[in-house]
Amino acid sequence: MGTKEKLWILTAQCPSRLGTVDVVTRSLAETENYIVAMNSFDDKETESFCIRVEFRPINGQSSLNDFRELFESRASGFDMQWQLTEPYHRTRVAILVSKYDHCLNDLLYRYRTGELAIDIPLIISNHPDLKHLADWHGIPYFHLPITADTKPQQETEVWRLINEFDCELVVLARYMQVLSPAMAARLDGKAINIHHSLLPGFKGAKPYHQAWAKGVKLVGATAHYINDDLDEGPIIAQGVQAVDHSHYPEDLVARGQDIESQTLASAVRYHTEKRVFLIGNRTVVFKD
């Protein structure tokens, strides 16, 4: 089986207007850039348009330079915000974690095997428990304990490290702390969280045990961008699995952790492959 071709990615977003698709495709064609795949969506509720294009420059850097020059002038006429992503770009990701290791383990595996196009320059935790995983992968591990009194100082240090290591994305891989409104604002659209999605909803201690006591029939997980409303940020990916009376609490926990890991990995991939567009508190996700 051949390796998937690495392509340039163009993403753009603007108000809905006649000719939005045309201005993108025509600009690429006129500068000799071959479109391999394209997704677009026009949201009638907000009258906003978004598009994602994978393309191959026929004449290499010359085609790219010509496209940038031409498209910059044309896109401005549509109030279009756009971005080009290089084929071999690897997103720098800071992982925040507490004591649960399933999501961290899964992300490290996908990073190690190259399934996710990411680099992980650091892992931050409010506990020392998972340092051995970071050490095994040769990744710096920063243990930053937190209490109610030290929360502002701890978050200041977290933010400093994120910037020091030039991280583009923050992943909360079961980081069992509620971020302050100030920290959530800093990470708006740049941080992904994962949590269980039990139907009906169960909060507090031992949610899977609560669910088992009610005879729950579905377990799942939701990955979303963070904001200052707890677990209410724009949703990127969700997973669900049916369960029944034969599943005891420990079975539900195991199923839930599997779904959390898979759903978080999907959300990270969608983000790093530039497949997610924010429209207010909603997302448009172009799945492959």
pLDDT at residue number 269? 98
Q: Answer whether 194's CB lies under 8 Å from 221's CB.
A: yes
pLDDT at 70 over 60: yes
| Residue 283 Cα distances to 43, 138, 210, 271, angstroms | 11, 35, 31, 11
pLDDT at 167 over 90: yes
pLDDT at residue number 115? 96
Check 129, 231, 251, 258 and give the catalytic one: 231
pLDDT at 158 over 80: yes
pLDDT at residue number 54? 98
Residues 121-148: pLDDT tens digits? 999 999 999 999 999 999 999 999 999 9
pLDDT, greater one: 24 or 205? 24
> What is the b/e burial string over 258-278, where b = at least 16 CB atoms within 10 angstroms of the residue's CB?
bbbbbbbbbbbbbbbbbbbbb
pLDDT at residue number 97? 98
Q: Answer whether 119's CB lies under 8 Å from 90's CB.
A: yes
Distance between CA atoms of residues 57 and 284, nearest Å: 27
pLDDT confidence bin for 197, thresholds 50/70/90:
confident
**Which residues, 6+ apart, have CB-to-CB distance to 229 below 8 Å?**
none
pLDDT, greater one: 211 or 80? 80
Lookup result for tokens 């420059």: 57
Distance between CA atoms of residues 203 and 196, nearest Å: 10
Question: Whole-prediction pTM value?
Answer: 0.94
pLDDT at residue number 221? 93
Both tokens of 174, joined, read 């079961």
| Residue 198 Cα distances to 78, 139, 206, angstroms | 43, 33, 12
Kindly report which listed range (59-63, 71-75, 212-216, 238-242) carries the lowest average pLDDT score.
212-216
pLDDT at residue number 257? 93
Q: Answer whether 55's CB lies under 8 Å from 36's CB.
A: yes
Q: Does the active-site annotation cover 231?
A: yes
Kindly report which listed range (110-124, 133-147, 232-246) carries the lowest average pLDDT score.
232-246
Element (H, E) at 279: strand 276-279
DSSP 206: -
Kindly report which listed range (105-114, 181-190, 191-200, 236-245) carries the lowest average pLDDT score.
191-200
Query: Based on C-alpha coordinates, what's the Rg of the chain?
Result: 21
pLDDT at 2 over 60: no
pLDDT at residue number 162? 98
Both tokens of 286, joined, read 């172009």
Is it true that 8-85 and 91-285 share their CATH fold? Answer: no
Q: What is the mean pLDDT of residues 251-256?
A: 90
Kindly report which listed range (100-104, 248-252, 269-273, 275-279) carries the lowest average pLDDT score.
248-252
Residue of 86, 88, 67 whose CA lies nearest to 24: 67
pLDDT confidence bin for 208, thresholds 50/70/90:
confident
Lookup result for tokens 């896109």: 75
Residue of 100, 276, 54, 93 whose CA lies nearest to 194: 100
Q: Would you call 273 helix, strand, or coil by DSSP?
A: coil
pLDDT at 28 over 70: yes
pLDDT at residue number 4? 77
The gap from C-alpha 214 to its chain's centroid, in whole angstroms, comes to 32
**Which residues, 6+ apart, have CB-to-CB distance to 27 below 8 Å?**
67, 70, 71, 74
Q: What is the mean pLDDT of residues 38-53?
A: 96
| Residue 83 neighbours by CB distance under 10 Å | 10
| Residue 263 Cα distances to 68, 237, 266, 268, angstroms | 35, 6, 5, 9
pLDDT at 1 over 60: no
Fold of 8-85: Alpha-Beta Plaits (3.30.70)
Q: Would you call 71 helix, strand, or coil by DSSP?
A: helix
| Domain extent listing, the chain | 8-85, 91-285
CATH code given to domain 91-285: 3.40.50.170
pLDDT at 287 over 80: yes
Q: What percent of the chain has pLDDT over 90?
A: 81
